[in-house]
Each structure stands twice: as structure tokens, then as C-alpha cells.
Structure 1
Amino acid sequence: MILCCAVLLVTSCSRKKNKFLNRNFHALGTKYNILYNGDIALEKGRESVDNAFTDNYWELLQVERMEDLEEVVLPGQSKNQDFERAEEKAIKAIQKHGMNIQGKEYNPQIDEAYLLLGKARYFDQRFVPALEAFNYILYKYPASDKINTAKIWREKANIRLENNELAIKNLKRLLEQEELEDQDLADANAILGQAYINIKAKDSALTRLNLAAEIAKKHNEKARYSYIVGQLYNEFGKKDSANLAFDKIIDMHRKIPRPYYINAHLEKIKNFDANEGNVLEFEEYLVDLEENRENRPFLDKIYYYIGEYYRGKTSDSIAESYYNKSLRTNSQDKQLKAFDYSILGDMSFDRAEYSIAGAYYDSTMNNMVLNSKPYRIIKRKRDNLEDVINYEDIAQRNDSILDLVNMSDEDRLVLFKAFTDDLKAKAEEEAERKEIAERKLSAAAASNDLNSKSSNSKFATNKSGGETFYFYNSTTVAYGKSEFAKTWGDRTLKDNWRLSAGIGASTTSQQNIDITQGASEEEIYNPEFYIAKIPTDQKVLDSLAKERNFAYYQLGIIYKEKFKEYVLAKDKLQQLLKNNPEERLILPSKYNLYKIYEELNLNDEAEIAKNDIIANYPDSRYAEILLNPQSEFSKDENSPESLYESLYQLFTEQEYAEVISGCEENIKLFEGDIIVPKFELLKASARGRLYGFEAYKEGVNYVSLNYPNSEEGKQAQEIMTKVIPVLSKKEFVDNATAKNFNVIYKFNADEDIKEFVEKLNKAVSNISYFDLTTSVDVYDENTKFVVVHGLKSVEGASGFAEILEENKHKIVKEHFAISSPNYAIVQMHKNINEYLESQ
């Protein structure tokens, strides 16, 4: 009997005999052994992919929860071991149990093996091999009961390969020609919807996804499709239809993952119209959503959307509190934090709290994708605040110092006595806290010594021989506290307890860290120590006042011109005039105040300011503008813009000495005006052309240091970091590496060269075999060069000059040949003698 069974088993193992026993033996082994284990591995892999993927609910969801990974996988490699195992099982089923006899497969499970193979490759994101597996089923098993499933998976692979039009064509034909089962029908419509989304045909996608959501049997899929439907309706502005889709998700409640449920609620909050809905009922709904304990993991977004609701109602203070609550949840959602910070920044900006707004925008950029379009928008806002933040800091700091200078000795003593008393109180409080911590630590250590044997493990043995939980044993608890205190010290029970205790220290002590650095304990608590730090040198005080006054002037101009905050601008300029500023700031401040009064419809104040300027500064350009406003004097030849344009024209004409003197005059004339950095940079360029590299470097560095927040200052900083290192190289290059050469004729700066240039141009125009040009270049204050450009070798340049000496034009003049790169070095470093000596 045993022998018969053995013979029967051996004969049934053959894959080349089309017998009932053979077919069923291999089919059962394939289905209940190999494919069963392969399907388990596939589902395990799908679960890991699903868990690793985080949906971005700020954007339209994908139909399928799977992240597109960009890493390249070599043939034979896999990204996921579970998918690799599933693929191995599928291949084993095909190789060990396939019954391909005379071109026909007799094992009915092999088509499922190929389907498993394709799915494993698909989820492992090897879409081309997956496509091959699905196509093989369609080619070799046209009568398979899995044929429609294979077609659907083939189009999923096509969509992943961005063959959206082909997938749409094939899926539409499948839906028209075949009667699909419920799951296949739902899958086909869902991925057809994804293909339509990919090609931006979202109206067609909406129809398909609506159908998929109705047909789908799995709650997760039904919720996901419904959520995408709601998102699409929102994009089309159909909020009522969107809310119906979100209500379907909410009705499923605990049958679906919590994120779908919560985000459906949040979308409904976003869609609520306070003008049409019941506000009281809706606000109760918000409170319930906020207070539900199950929603705690999602409070970051809940607070944000509640803030959005109140911001829409213009209840800015309530909205602001919710945005801050959202941030305090320590959310891991960077996009959410970017939204919170950005909105808080905009709110601070609207209140003209520009320093605070700048800090919020900094935090916003830290949570955004670098150099993305939203990042660049926020960066532009932040850059616009750079100047105002800088000058506000200067004004506040210097005002504080000067206020201390102007205080009486008694008032200073009272102020710093209060300050040092506060320091003492805090120090005593800290000392007492440490003493309590040390006593607790000593008590725990003593208890630990007495019970060292029983405290070596987390569990202690009770009298009956069993083990008790760690926290039930006072000895082990004391030991744990002792170990914690050794590692962390004494920490109060609060959020972020791991952060250093010093994080919560007073701002005052942090601000004064530089003042107290190196001071003894006695000095730190002595008011006289701080009083002695107040500057007394008149030069220092004058410098502080001058810097403060200039900051006030710049703030007034910035608030007026850039932000149109006329009240703030008025306050700054009025305060400036009370501070006894230097003469150069008085007149422009008064004129800008006059313009601000006009904007604010303060006609009496505007008239007083106008009469003051006309009476006390009758020869100024401001008086001329006020006396004859229709003349557009601000745009005539005396305006700073026109003067700059005139000087720039002279610069292009190589009148560098005149440009330098003109810039110096206008810098003094318009000191304090926003155009001054332009004159400074133009002056630096002219000095560089006339005096060389060191003069240019000095001028650019001056602009970068003295006008760091202006456009010219930023440009100068970029020149210092990127251009100056390149220009600093003064070593001459080998002629063999150059492609263009010049012939140089040297003249004294005051020498009349007009006739020579005309003669040279006539001679050059007769040369047709070279594309030659000429120029007159200033070398320095005493020298000019007449240059012939366009020659191709140093020998050719020298030979060309000799030809000119001998032809009919007889151009005889001392000359030398030089490559274009070396000529640039000569002009930059004014080292012509070094070059000639090296030749």
C-alpha cells in the first residue's frame, strides 16, 4: 500500500503529462503552498508601503497610496524584501509547477502566479518588468478568469510610466466591452480617474471617482475615493457637493483610518459659509471637535482650521491664538507650520510690527522647500523687511543708551538697584531649587545603598516569590529617581523638559550676558558696576546720536515709500526733528513730513511745513518744488536721479575723473537720501577704471559695509565674495591659451589723438581679411591707449602694426601687442610696465 502511494506520488509530480492527477497535484501545490505564501508576503509588503507613505492632505490625494521613489534599482535587486519574496514564490510556481505541454498551459494556477509576479514588481516600483508580466497573461492566457484583473493592473503600470492616454483608451474599451465584477469595476474606474487627473481632465476624473466610491466594497478605498471627489468638487467651487462627499466619510467613522475622518471634518470647516450657515451651531461643532480626546493627534490641523474660520470672521485675536496653539502642538507637518508662521507674519505685518513679522517669515522659510515658488515669495517679503528691522534695532538700542546717559545719578541708581535686586531674587530662587534637588538626590542615594540588592532590576521579588511591578517598589523607584537626577538633574514637570533649564531663563539675563562676562559675583549684584558701563566719551555719544538719527530718518522714508505707513513715518520723522539731528537730515525730513501731511489730509500741518521750507531754505530744490509744483522740478536736471544719469553717461564716455568728483559732490548734497549708495557704487567703479584694482576693491568694500541693506550694498557684497577674488589675479597668461590679440598705441592723456584715430580707422577699414575694430581706452590719469582689436596671434598683431607703418597710411607710432586676457589684467591692475618687461 505504501509502495503504491509512493509510486502514485512520483508519477503525479511529472509536469509533462496531461493527466487529471498531475494537473490537480500541481494546481493544489501552487495554490495552497507557493501562491498562498507569496500572497502573504505581497500583503505584508503592501502594508509596509502603506505605512511608510504619508498622505499630503494639502494637495489632491492620489488614488493609490504609494510614494514614487526616485532611487534607481539595478536588475535583480529589490527595494523591499517582502516583494522580493513574493516574486520568488511566483517564479517558483511558474518554474516548478508550470505544465506547458505543446504550447498550452494545463496548470490553472499559473496565470495567478504571473499576476502575483506583476503585482510584486509593481509595488517594488519596477513598472516595466511588471508590465511584461501582465502582458504575458493577456498573451498566453486569454481565457483566464483573471484576464480583466490583469488588464486593469497593466493600465496601472502604464499610468505609473506616464502613458496616461494609452491607459485611458484601454480602460474605456475594457469598461465598454466587459462586464466587470464589483472590485474590478471599482479599480478600473478609480485608476481611470487618476489618469484623467494626470492629464488635467478633472471633470472626467470626478465622474469616474464618484462611480468608484459607490461601487467599492472596502471601506478604506470608499473613503479615499470619496475624499478625492470632495477635493475635486472644492476645486470646481461646488462646496455643497463637496460637503456631501465628506459627510459620507464622516458617517463611516471608526470603519476607516482616522486621518480620512478628521480631514473630512476639516474640509467642512473650510467650506463653512458664516453668512448662510448657523454660526452658533457651527462654533459648538468646532468646540466638540477640539475637545474630543480621540482627536488629540490631529489638534495641530484642527487648531489651524479653527484659526482660519475666525480669521475669515475678522476675529484676528482669536484666530492668532489658535495659530499659536497649532504651533505649540509641536506638529511634524512642515507645510502646516509654514502656513501658521506665514499667517502670523502677515498679521504682524498688517499691524506694522515689522520686526516680529520678519521673525515669523524666517520661521516660515525654515519649514518650506528651499527655492520653491512659495519660498521665494516669502523670501521677497522678508528681504523687504530687512532694512526696517535693522534700523528699528539701531534706534531702540541707541535710544536706550542715550536715555541712560541723560538720567540723573539718582534715577540710574534706582533703575539698576531694581535690576540687581531682581537678579538676586532669581539667583536665590535657583539656589533653593538646587538645594532641594540635592536633598532629594541624597535621600534617594541613601535609600539605594540600603536596598542595593533588590534594586538591580526593574522588577522586585515579593514575599510569595513572585515579581512586583517597578513602580510598586519604593526602593527601585528611589533608585530610578537617583539615576534620572544624575543624568538630567532636577527638571520641572512641563513640556520639552529635556531642554536645558537655562532655556527658560529671563530675557534680561540673556541680553546682559556680554556685560557681565568676566565679572565677579559681587560686581554682578552691584548697581555701580552697570552704571560704570554707561559711555561718557562725547565722541561716542555723538556717534550714537548720529547713528540713531540716521536710523530714524531711514525708518521714516521706508515707512512712507515702501509700506505706505504714513502715521508711522510721521512719528519717526517728527521724533527725529526733536532729537536735534545734523543739518543734512533736517530739510529732507521736513519735506517728507509735508508730503505725509498731505497724504493724511492734515492740511494745516502741511501748510506750516511748506511755509517753513520756503522761508528758511529758499534756495533749495525742495523750495523750488513747493513754489512751482507744476514744473516737475523733481525730474529736472537738478533731481538726484537726473544727476546720477548724467554722471553715468560720463562714465560710459570714460570721463572717470569728472565722474568721481561729481559723485563726491552729490554724496554730500544728498547725504541721507536713498540714492546715495548708487553714487557710491558708481564712484567705486570710476575709481577702479582710473586707479586700478585696489581702488575698486576699497570702494566696493566701503559700499558693502556702509549700506548693507540697500540694493547697491547687497550688490557690493556679492561683488566682494564672487568677483573680487577673480579680479585679484594679476599673473599674466600664456599667449598660447589666448584667442584674441590687440595692438596698443600709447598716448599722454592731454595729447590730441583725434587725427591719429581717424587715420587708423581709415587704414583698418581697408583690411577685409580680419574683423577689426578700434577703441580709445583710458589707462590712468596720465595715459590713454588707442587699441586695435580682433587679431588672432601675438605675432600677427606685431606684424599687422608693421604693415601699417609701411603702407600708404604710414601709421608710425610706438606700439606693442598683447592678448585680450592680459590687456584686461593690465587695465585692472595698472601694471603695463610689468607686462612690457616680461616680454
Structure 2
Amino acid sequence: MKTSYRAILAFLFFTFVITSCSRKKDKFLSRNFHAVTTEFNALYNGGIALEQGRTELNKSYIDNYWEVLPIERMQIDEEIILPGQSKNEDFNRAEEKAVKAIQKHSMNIDGKEKNPQIDEAYLLLGKARYFDQRFIPSLEAFNYILYKYPASDKINQAKVWREKANIRLENDELAIKNLKRLLEQENLEGQELADATSILAQAYLNIKVVDTAITLLEIASNATKSNDERGRYCFIQGQLYNQLGYKDSANIAFDKVIELNRKTPRIYMISAHIEKVKNFDYENGNTMELWEFLTELEENRENRPFLDKIYHQIGQFHQQRGSDSLAVTYYNKSLRERSQDKQLKARNYQILGDMNFNASIYRLAGAYYDSTMLNLKLNSKPYRTIKRKRDNLDDVIYYEDIAQVNDSILKLVNFSEAEKLAYFESYVEKLKIQAEEAKEKAEALERKNTGLNTVNNNINSVIPSRGTGVPSQAALFYFYNPTTVSYGKNEFVKVWGDRVLEDNWRWSHKSSSGISSSRNSNTTIEDLASEEERFNPQFYISKIPSNEKEIDSIYKDRNYAYYQLGLIYKEKFKEYELAKDKFNNLLNSHPEERLVLPSKYNLYKIYELLGENSEAEIAKNEIINNYPDSRYTNILTNPDLASEKDESSPESIYETVYALYENQEYEKVISESDNYISVFDSEPIVPKFELLKASATGRLYGYESYSKAINYLSVTYANTEEGKQAQEIETKVLPRIAATEFVENDDLEKHYKVVFQFDNATKEDINMFDKTLKEEVLPNIKYYKLSSSVDVYNPNTTFVIVHGLHNEAVAKTFDQLLTKEDKQKIKKPFFAISSNNYKIIQIHKNLEAYLNISNN
């Protein structure tokens, strides 16, 4: 009984306590009950959730040490968050706890808050929203503290966090104004001072006031209680000093980071060491001491997670000292590390690409540039720069291949018979050694596979394949045998060349670098030889060109490749020394006359750009004396005219011919283009004339002629913009317009034309008819807004077209729309045609076929 009484009394007591703790009563018991419950329940759990969220945020954030670090580690996500959604559940939980504390424990009595923990609840609410990147709602929470709780002990924290939200909202000037006022009015100390000055430094960094930001970071690093923050602030100071060019001051700041050692994240210490190495004076400093230090960094086991950065810096060290082979080794070591730093990877690949480019290993350089682009942000400025260089490299690779191959062939051509035999006997011996090694490897692999197959078969005889009860045949599958796979790959390359994995890979225009496959064939002579021929020196000697015409063609191709390389290096890469070498090689190779003058003029311009004035003067005088009537001489003797439009320049002439094209004088365009293609042979304007000629040919002679002209352009000038445009026309446009079948007129067809046909008529007669139609006849036709034009059909036939009719029956009875007087003016017969069918007869020149169908 006593136990029952005690339980009842306890229950009554707690009921009394709870009922007396009303949020509407300003009693001692109520205030303390709600304050304690708020602090040790909602705020405690909310604070834990907030810290968990911040820890996760810091783990997921990756600093970019190639730029000045932000004061606060926080990744801003551009993704739009809808109301009620959250990016992080921990922050969502912290917000829920803060809201719960406010809703259930706020004691707002007579306009005053009696629970001293509610201001902290609002502070927690604002922080949770801030880290969840909902800055406007977080700003509202901080402002509410400033408005409702001016006497709160958290008021300074609320002011700092409010300005952090303002900075995230790009209100930097407002944040600076408010924080400066806070520092002037309040005697802040410790962490509050560190928070206020560090975030003020960020505001100054945002408006590019670097020196003030450095001073504020010094105050913040001295005031903060967190070594993590101290290390970050000192490192940012060092970065900012470097930005201003004060390397000594930067090194002092980095030394402060290094002195913290294990008290701060190791990435700060390693990055500080690397930044100091970047600031090293290679001219006056002790390079041996620096090398020993870098070796120590590399060998320290604690630095293993940062070897990608350390190897890159060692590569830089060797490159600065001219040890390119060692530099390449360390850049490759850096790439082999599993680095999360894409910019570091991009720099490694770009440096290796540049080194191979400078060494004239263009194909490998192109591969490195491809890898560089994979690690850069798409369509960013660095990406576009590398992409432009990579696209230009396609041309270099193509012409360098031609130059190297043809130089090798010509070298063989000039060998004596004895020298040829000795050369290919040595070559065949190497092939035999390679074949023997390959055979030994294949036999070893076969023995290994035979052993594996025996084991697999023994296992398979015991273990049936899944669900069938039949022994597995996996060991017999083609792709499980490395020997057969390797053989298959080699056979594929022999037949098809190096192809990219993509749709329509068998098409002739497909290739790995975007150039015509005919230019990228990897098939060698020995691949096409029989087993007997492969090891016979006479087989290779028989392949050396002996025909004089063929040898001349090789010389011409080689010389043209030299010329194009000179232009590419000069115009696209600004590599003037390389360009000079190519033009000099060309002029020393007895080139055809058409290449001599432009090569000499380009050499003159290169000498000017390199500051080699005496060489430039010699080249200039040679051009003026030997080619007095050339346009180059005109430019050199009248430099003031160079900036003005030269009527005899290729560009001006092209504009004149293009005007003929627009005027439908297609025969004249074709003949003029042929003429100027010969005159400006080897100059960049030639592909433009070829494309204009192809377009005029198509307009005048139809699809088949146009197709042939485009194919010629795409193959002959594949490296130019016009050639690439021709390739696109060939693959995308021509298939769409290849159909010759006429379209049956239906209700969907809303455009019809009336066509007056003129055969072998003078231009004056055609223009007179069009003028009469346009000015005297069509304006008299009611209910229709009609117009006319003149279209060339072929060299002998021209059309005068009436446009604006939307009904087939009306088009066929066009003459009934005319008045009696107008019928007397327009007596010529006509035919009606839909717009779609008109396009077909113009493309395929099959007017007779259409008229036969129409008459039937």
C-alpha cells in the first residue's frame, strides 16, 4: 500500500510541476524549466547536428591551391533548392531543433522574451540555414536577434554572422560598413575578434583591396583559438603577398604555417613548402640545398597523400635546371598518383604536351593536349586556348608526317645501290629479331593459357555453369584468350587503321584525329608484305620510287609541306624560329617557282618580328630587285598602302568573284576561280576559291558535279576550315538532298511557283520580261501579294519565277488572274510547280522528267 501511495504522490507532484511550467506565466519555475529544456535538449542536439554537417561540408570541400583560398571552406552549389528542401540532412535537423526550441519553449510575455536561451535558438537557426546555402532566410534569423534581443550576450556573434550572409549575397560594401562599425564600437577579443576580422578580410578580397585584407588576416591569425584557422589565415597571407610580388614577406607567412606542423592540417604545411619552393631564386640560391629539401619531402612517409604535388614541384625544379628527361619522369610520377586535383593533372599534361611540341613530337603532343582538355572545365578560357592549339596541331601533324616521310624516301632515292642494300639488310635483321621475340612471347603465353585452360576445364568438369548443369566454356571464349585478342587487334588495325569507337566507324572520312583517314593510315609496307617478302631486302628496294615523274611529285609534296608548316608556325603558333627554319629548308630544297616569292616575303616578316634587321633588309632588297612587278614589291616599296585595302590582294579579288556569284554569273565564277587558284597557288585563299567554285558548279550543273567538287575539296584541303566544311557537307548535306523523286502535291504544300522558261535568250530580254512582270503585271493582280525573281537553271536556260501563290489550281491557271491588257504583255507559256519540287529540279537538273510527269 505504501508503494502505491508513493507512486500516486510522485505522479501528482510531477503533474503539478508540469502544469505550473506554463509558457504564459513569468514564474521562476517556468523560466528555468524551459531554459534548461531548451539548452540541454533542443539546442544540444541541434548543435551536434550542426557540427556534424560542418564536418561533412569540410570533408567534401576541395581547396584549389592554384588560386587564393577563400577564408571559409564552403562549396557554393549553383543548384536551385526549392522551399522545404535541404542540401544536407544534418543542417535540416539542426534547423528543426532550433524551430522546436522556439515554438515550444519561447516565453514571450508582455513583449519580452523570458527564456534566455531563445536568442541562441535563433542563432542556431541562422547558422543552419547559412550552411544549407539559404542565405536570405539565414539573414532574417540574424536580423531578428539584433531586433528582438539587443541585450543578448550573443549579439556580436549575430552581427558577424549577418555580415557573412551579406557577403554570400554579394553585399560586400554593406558588410564592410557594418563590420568596421562593430570593430570601432565594441572591444572584441578572442574568437569574436578573429571571426569579425577574417570575414572583413574576405569582403576586402572580394572588392580587390588586397593590402587591407592582409592586415586583417594578421589580426585574425593572432586572435583565433583554432590552429586550423590560424594555419589557413597565414597561408592565405602568403598567397596574397605573392600576388603583390613580395616574395620575402610571403615566405615569412608560409614559415608560420610550417611552424604549426601537426597542429594544423598537413595539406597547409605541404602547400606552404611548395609555395616557398616556387619562390626560390634559381639564379642566386643554393640549388643543391633545395634538391636535398625536395628529396626529403618526397621520402617522408607522412607526405604520401601529397606526392602528386611534390612530384610536380620536383619536375618544375628539374625543368628550371634544364634536366628535361628528369622533369618528364617526375611529371609522369605526378600523373600516376591518384590525385583529386584536376588542375594539377591538366598542368602536368600541358607541360608534357609543350615539351613534346618543342621537340617536334607532334602526335604525342596532341595526345597530351587531349588529356589536358579532359581535366579542364568545358568551354573555360584555358580549355578554349588548349583546344585551339590542339586543332592547329592536326595540321602540323599532317604536314610534318609528309615532310618526314618524303625526306626519308628522297634520302633512299639518292642512295647508291650498295647503300640501299646495306640499309635494308640491317632493317631486315631488326625485323627478324623482333619477330623472334614476338614468337617467344606468344609461345610463353600459349603455354600459360594451356595450363590455365587445363585447370579451368578440371574445375568446370566438377562445377556446372549456373543453372544449366552443363560445364562452362568460358576458358574457350575468344576474348578470354589474350593471344587471340592481340592477334585480332593487329589484324583489325592492318585492315581498317586506327579507328575511334563511334557510330559509322567504317566510313572513309572517319579517323581518330578528325582528318581524312587517307591521311592517317597506320599500315606499313611490312604489314602488306608476305612472309617471304617481309625478310627480303630486295622487296623493300623495289618499293623505292625510280620514276622521274613520281620523284618530282614527292619533292613537290615535301616542299609544299615545308611551306605550310612555315605558315602554321608563323601565323598560328607564333613560333618564329621554327617557321624560319621551315622556310629556309624550303628555299634550300630547290622549290618550284610559285613557292619561292611568298617564302621569301614570309622570311622577311619573320626577321622583322625577331629583330634581325640586317637579315630583314637583305630579304627585302632581294624581293624588290628580283621581283619588281610583284604585289609583294608593291607592299614593300609603298608601306603606307599596306594598311589600306589593296585591290590586287587575294582577299579583294575573292570579294569581286563572290559578287559575281551573288549575281548568278556562275560560268564566270568558275573560270575566274580556276584562274586565281593558279595565280595564288599555295596561299591560304585557294581553298576559299575552291569552295566558291564548287558552289557555282553545283548551281550550274547540279548534284553530281557539286558532289565531285566537294569531295575533291574535302580530300585535297582537309586541313583547312573550307576542307572541314566540305567534309561536313559531304556527310550531312549531300545525303539529305540526294533524292531525285518528286513530291506529290498535297494539302500540306502551301507554296507554289509559276515558272517562265527562257532558252538561249539574251540577258537583256530576260531582264526586260522580269521588269514588265514586276512593275506592270503583278501589281494589278488582286487578293495576292506576288513577287518575281530571275534564277539561272543551266548554261543555256534561265527561269523567271513568280512567288506568292498558295494553291496548285491557282498556280496552274495563273493566266486567268491577268487582265486582257496584261495578257497581251505576258504571252510566254509557263508551268506551275511546288517549292519542294522546284528545289529538286534545281539540285538535280531534271526539268524534263518533271515536265513529262506534269503533262501526263
Per the shorter chain, which TM-score range?
0.7 to 0.9
How many Å separate the matches in 2 of 1:797 and 1:199? 73
What amino acid is aligned across from residue 763 of structure 1 in structure 2?
A: E
Q: Is 2:21 aligned against 1:10?
A: no
Are the counterparts in 1 of residues 424 and 540 from structure 2 also a CA contact under 8 Å?
no
**1:45 partnered with 2:53:** yes
Q: What's the CA shift string for 1:372-430, capped at 9, x where partnerless? A: 11111112112222222012234545666788898766764553233222331354367
**Aligned in 2, Cα 1:538/1:517: closer, same or farther, shift over 3 Å?**
closer
Distance in 2, matches of 1:442 and 1:815, equals 85
8 Å Cα contact 1:746-1:784 kept in structure 2: yes
Deviation of the 1:218 alpha carbon: 0.7
Give, in angstroms, the shift of residue 646 of structure 1.
Answer: 5.0
Matched residue of 1:58: which SS? coil
Q: Deviations over 1:263-300 (max 9, x none)?
A: 12222222334456555554544444344333332232
Distance in 2 between the 1:95 and 1:624 partners?
Answer: 88
Contact 2:119 2:149 in 1 (8 A): yes
The answer as to whether partners of 1:743 and 1:801 remain within 8 angstroms in 2 is no
How big is the alpha-carbon RMSD for the aligned residues of Structure 1 and Structure 2? 5.2
Counterpart contact for 1:740–1:819, Cα < 8 Å: yes
1:166 Cα offset (Å) = 3.8
Deviation at 1:69, TM superposition (A): 2.0
Find the aligned partners of 1:542 and 1:256 in 2 and give their Cα distance.
76
2:434 corresponding residue in structure 1? 422
Is 1:569 the counterpart of 2:582? The answer is yes
**Change beyond 3 A, Cα 1:107–1:175:** same
Deviation at 1:772, TM superposition (A): 7.7
Q: Which residue number corresponds to residue 393 of structure 2? A: 385
1:344-379 residue CA offsets vs partner (Å, 9 max, x unmatched): 333343444434433332222222122211111112
Q: Helix, strand or coil: the match of 1:562?
A: helix
Q: Structure 2: how far apart are the matches of 1:383 and 1:97?
A: 67
Cα 1:489–1:787 shift into 2, 3 Å:
closer
Give the stretch that moved more between structures: 61-70 or 589-598.
589-598
Whether the 8 Å contact between 1:15 and 1:98 is mirrored in structure 2 is: no
1:587 and 2:596 equivalent? no
Q: Distance in 1 between matches of 2:219 and 2:597?
A: 70
Q: Is the CA contact (8 Å cut-off) linking 2:126 and 2:142 kept in structure 1?
A: yes
Q: State the distance in 2 between where 1:12 and 1:725 align.
A: 89
Give the deviation of 1:56 after TM superposition.
0.8
Q: CA separation in 2, counterparts of 1:624 and 1:45?
A: 73
Q: How does 1:306-705 map to 2 (within 5 A)?
A: 306-309=314-317, 311=319, 319-397=327-405, 412-428=424-440, 431=443, 528=534, 548-563=554-569, 564=576, 565-566=578-579, 568-569=581-582, 573=586, 586-589=592-595, 591=597, 644=654, 647-664=657-674, 667=677, 674-705=684-715
Is 1:12–1:25's contact at 8 Å kept on the other side of the alignment?
Answer: no
1:50: how far off? 0.6
Cα 1:390–1:273 shift into 2, 3 Å: same
* Partner Cα distance (2:325, 2:525) in 1: 38
What SS does the corresponding residue of 1:654 show, helix, strand or coil?
coil
How far has the Cα of 1:708 moved from its partner? 0.9
Shift of 1:48: 1.0
8 Å CA contact 2:399–2:564 kept in 1: the answer is no
Matched, 1:152 2:154: no
Instruction: State the shift of 1:594 in Å.
Output: 5.9
Question: In terms of mean alpha carbon deviation, does 126-135 or 638-647 score higher?
Answer: 638-647
Conserved 8 A contact 2:623-2:633: yes
Aligned partner of 1:81 among 65, 89, 107: 89
1:261 pairs with 269, 283, 288, which one?
269
Q: Which moved more, 1:41-50 or 1:321-330?
A: 321-330
User: What displacement does 1:165 show?
Assistant: 3.9
Judge which range, 277-286 or 51-60, deviates more: 277-286
Write the distance in 2 (CA, Å) between the matches of 1:792 and 1:267.
74
Query: Residues 444-496 of structure 1, C-alpha deviation per residue, up to 9 Å, x if partnerless?
Result: x99x9xxxxxxxxxxxxxxxxxxxxxxxxxxxxxxxxxxxxxx9999xxxxxx
Q: Structure 1 residues 33 and 102 mapped into 2: Cα distance closer, same or farther (>3 Å)?
A: same
Task: Give me the whole-angstrom Cα distance separating, in 2, the residues matched to 1:304 and 1:373.
Answer: 23
d(CA) in 1 for partners of 2:702, 2:537: 49
1:685 shift after superposition: 0.6
Alpha-carbon distance between aligned partners in 2 of 1:210 and 1:561, rounded to the nearest angstrom: 54
- CA deviations 1:735-761 (Å, max 9, x no partner) are 987898766443224334144345456
Q: Displacement of 1:124 after TM fit?
A: 2.4
The TM-score with structure 1 as length reference comes to 0.76
Give, in angstroms, the shift of residue 260 of structure 1.
Answer: 1.1
Task: Tell me what 1:26 maps to.
Answer: 34
Deviations 1:88-143, CA, capped at 9 Å, x for gaps: 33333334433344554333222222322322232222334333433333343333
Cross-structure match for 2:791: 777
- Secondary structure, counterpart of 1:776 in structure 2: strand
Q: Which residue of 2 aligns with 1:453?
A: none
Is 1:747 the counterpart of 2:758 in the alignment? yes
Match of 2:501 in 1: none
SS at match of 1:272: coil
Does the CA-based 8 Å contact 1:732-1:825 persist in structure 2?
no
Contact 2:409 2:544 in 1 (8 A): no
8 Å contact kept, 1:555–1:569? no
Distance 1:621 1:359 in 2: 46
Change (3 A) 1:744 1:170: farther
* Unmatched 5+ stretches in structure 2: 1-5, 460-478, 499-520, 570-575
Unaligned runs of 5+ in 1: 449-486, 491-499, 578-584, 615-619
TM, length-normalised to structure 2: 0.75
How far did 1:729 drift?
7.0
Q: Report the 3-state secondary structure (helix = DSSP H, G, I; strand = E; otherwise coil) of the residue aligned with 1:130.
A: helix
In 1, Cα distance between the equivalents of 2:282 and 2:730?
Answer: 56
Does the Cα contact within 8 Å between 1:688 and 1:828 map onto a contact in 2? yes
Match of 2:842 among 827, 831, 838: 827
Supply the distance in 1 between the matched residues of 2:31 and 2:12 (Cα, whole angstroms): 17
Structure 1 residues 835 and 161, CA, compared in 2 at 3 Å: closer, same or farther? Answer: farther
Describe the shift of the 1:539–1:804 C-alpha distance in structure 2 as closer, same or farther (beyond 3 A): farther
Q: Give CA deviations for 1:693-715 in whole Å, capped at 9, x if unaligned.
A: 34323322321122211221012
Distance 2:821 2:380 in 1: 64
Distance 2:175 2:579 in 1: 60
- Secondary structure in 2 matching 1:78: coil
User: Shift of residue 53 of structure 1?
Assistant: 0.8
Cα gap change, 1:728 to 1:179, in 2 (>3 Å):
farther
TM superposition shift of 1:340 = 2.1
Pick which of 695-704 and 94-103 moved more: 94-103
- Alignment-derived partner of residue 493 in structure 1: none
Question: How many residues end up aligned between the 2 structures?
Answer: 771
| Aligned-residue offset at 1:787 | 4.3
Q: Name the aligned partner's letter for residue 422 of structure 1.
A: Q
Counterparts in 2 of 1:586 and 1:134: CA distance versus 1, 3 Å: same
Structure 2 residue 223 is matched with structure 1 residue 220: no
Change (3 A) 1:118 1:644: closer
Any conservation in 2 of the 1:660–1:687 contact (CA below 8 Å)?
yes
Listed one character per residue, the Cα deviations across residues 187-236 of structure 1 (whole Å, up to 9, x for unaligned) are 22222332333344445444433332332221111222222232223223
How far does the alpha carbon of each residue in 1:145-181 deviate from its partner, in whole angstroms, 9 at most, with x for none?
A: 2222223223323333334344334333333333334
* CA distance in structure 1 between the aligned counterparts of 2:733 and 2:488, rounded to whole angstroms: 44
- Partner Cα separation in structure 2 for residue 43 and residue 558 of structure 1: 64
Instruction: Give the conservation status (yes or no) of the 8 Å contact 1:778–1:784.
Output: yes
Cα drift, residue 332 of structure 1: 3.4
Judge conservation of contact 1:555–1:572 (CA < 8 Å) in 2: no
Q: Distance in 2 between matches of 1:501 and 1:290?
A: 42
